Every structure is written in structure tokens, then in C-alpha cells.
Amino acid sequence: MEYEEITKYRKVMNENIFSCIELTKSPYSDIMHMPVNRFYDFLKWKAKLEEEKHKQMEEEFKNVR
């Protein structure tokens, strides 16, 4: 059971790291030097920002029609 949890955590962490790299266009080393709590807070903030941008774009698209 414990091994499965560790494996799952590693997989999720890797996905989060590469998502962060993609979202920020930052090098791997910069992301890896980030404190864990800051990393998670940053991911939440960035995801929320991207969601708001997407909503604004949808609203602008609706207004154009």
C-alpha cells in the first residue's frame, strides 16, 4: 500500500513539475529550486489566472458575434 502511494505521489509531482515548466516557460532547474509550498501555491495561482483569461476570451468572443 505504501509503495503505491509513493508511486502515485511521484507521478503527480512529475506531472505538476512539467505543467509548471510549460505554463511558465521556466527552466527545469528553476522549478526544482522552488520550495514545495511555494510551488503548489504558484500552480494554483497560475491555473486560476489561466482560467480567468480563458473566461475573458470567451466573453469577448461572444460580444463579437
Q: Output the pLDDT for position 47.
A: 85
Is there a contact between 31 and 20 (Cβ–Cβ < 8 Å)?
yes
pLDDT for position 64: 78
User: Which segments of the chain does DSSP mark as H helices, in order?
Assistant: 2-24, 28-32, 36-64
Query: Cβ(42)–Cβ(34) under 8 Å?
Result: yes
pLDDT of residue 43: 87
pLDDT profile of the chain (65 residues), mean per 10 = 90 92 90 91 89 91 80
The helix/strand/coil state of 7 is helix
Asked if residues 39 and 12 have their Cβ atoms less than 8 Å apart, the reply is no
Look at residue 23 in the predicted model and tell me its pLDDT.
82
What's this model's pTM, rounded to 2 decimal places? Answer: 0.66
Cβ–Cβ under 8 Å, residues 21 and 28: yes
pLDDT computed for residue 2 by the predictor: 92
